[in-house]
């Protein structure tokens, strides 16, 4: 049986680690887990990236 190695996801995350930790820390400090300015910025950036007028963040694919 051929062994298929798992993809190493560490390198991409290492580049973002400092920013991710800062954002996660801020989320916990403000207790702003839903809605708010971060979600709005994500939705705006996603809409721009996709070339659509609106994008809406949801909790799961079932919520979509």
Examine residue 50 and state whether it is found in any structural domain, yes or no. Answer: yes
Tokens of 30: 């403000």
What is the chain's percent helix, strand, coil content, to nearest 5? Answer: 55, 0, 45
38 within some domain? yes
Which pLDDT belongs to residue 35? 84
Using 50, 70 and 90 to split pLDDT, how confident is the model at 61? Answer: confident
- Tokens for 39? 């979600």
User: Within a domain: residue 49?
Assistant: yes
Range of the domain at 45: 31-56
Please state, in angstroms and rounded to a whole number, the distance separating the CA atoms of residues 41 and 30. Answer: 17
pLDDT of residue 56: 92
Is residue 45 included in any domain, yes or no? yes
Identify whether the C-beta of residue 26 lies closer than 8 Å to the C-beta of residue 11: no
Q: What is the mean pLDDT of the chain?
A: 88
Which pLDDT score, from 0 to 100, does residue 43 have? 95
Q: Token digits for 42?
A: 């994500």
pLDDT in tens, 37-59: 888 999 999 999 999 999 998 88
């Amino acid at each position: 049986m051929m062994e298929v190695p798992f993809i190493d996801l560490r390198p991409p995350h290492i580049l973002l680690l400092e920013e991710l930790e800062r954002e996660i820390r801020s989320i916990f400090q403000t207790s702003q887990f839903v809605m708010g300015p971060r979600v709005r910025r994500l939705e705006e950036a996603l809409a721009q990236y996709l070339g659509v007028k609106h994008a809406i963040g949801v909790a799961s694919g079932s919520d979509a």
